[in-house]
Structure 1
């Protein structure tokens, strides 16, 4: 009985790995903001947002670029905003879900 080789994927999701990393850090953010790791959360979120925005722009999905450009500004570590409270904690989770969604939905055709 002959086995067939698996068909290669037609699309690649370049934003998946940075989106997963940023989402994990943002899910842990409420705990990490109480330690000296708070600036690391801001760096990972901002850099991850810029990477995902770039991959979205390359994929022609410009609406994700707008979302993650705003995330990069709000979570920037150079000039941080003094956000705190329940709204900031909820925003961490909302943006983490946005990172997961963009990682799954931003895709480009695989070049052979």
Structure 2
């Protein structure tokens, strides 16, 4: 195994899978706004935001924590905030990008 491959495999990206799933859901979300299925989008996004936020704390990358705390609050399905229109559709896109970027950048050393 080369040194470059050994260095690359010395880290694990725990937030990658939940970030990828959340991004996929959020890219589809603008189509589902106003539908009964949008409640599922809220649940999935809020739960995965909490998971990715926790992984950011474990990785000691604190700057991601407020981002995903905000996502968990804004996409909260229990007390949904009354957002609509193009701003809400844009928020879906920016949250999806945040999930993707965090999924790639949040990493911890393998033990």
Q: TM over 0.5, yes or no?
A: yes
Give the Cα–Cα distance (whole angstroms) in 1 for the partners of residues 66 and 30 of structure 2.
25
RMSD: 1.4
Give the Cα–Cα distance (whole angstroms) in 1 for the partners of residues 33 and 89 of structure 2.
10
For residues 68-90 of structure 1, give each alpha carbon's deviation from its aligned partner in whole angstroms, at most 9, with x where no partner exists. 00110010000001100000000
Match of 2:108 in 1: 108
Deviation at residue 91 of structure 1 after TM alignment: 0.5
Deviation at residue 32 of structure 1 after TM alignment: 1.7
Match of 1:97 in 2: 97
Is residue 58 of structure 1 aligned with residue 61 of structure 2? no
In our comparison, the structure showing a higher alpha carbon Rg is: 1
- Unpaired runs of 5+ residues, structure 2, are none
Match of 2:18 in 1: 18
Number of equivalent positions: 108
Give the Cα–Cα distance (whole angstroms) in 1 for the partners of residues 84 and 110 of structure 2.
42
For residues 45-71 of structure 1, give each alpha carbon's deviation from its aligned partner in whole angstroms, at most 9, with x where no partner exists. 100100000000000001101100011
Indicate the SS of the match to 1:94.
Answer: helix
Indicate the SS of the match to 1:23.
Answer: helix
Give the Cα–Cα distance (whole angstroms) in 1 for the partners of residues 99 and 106 of structure 2.
10
Structure 1 stretches of 4+ with a deviation exceeding 4 A read none
More helix by share: 2
- Unpaired runs of 5+ residues, structure 1, are none
Deviation at residue 34 of structure 1 after TM alignment: 3.8
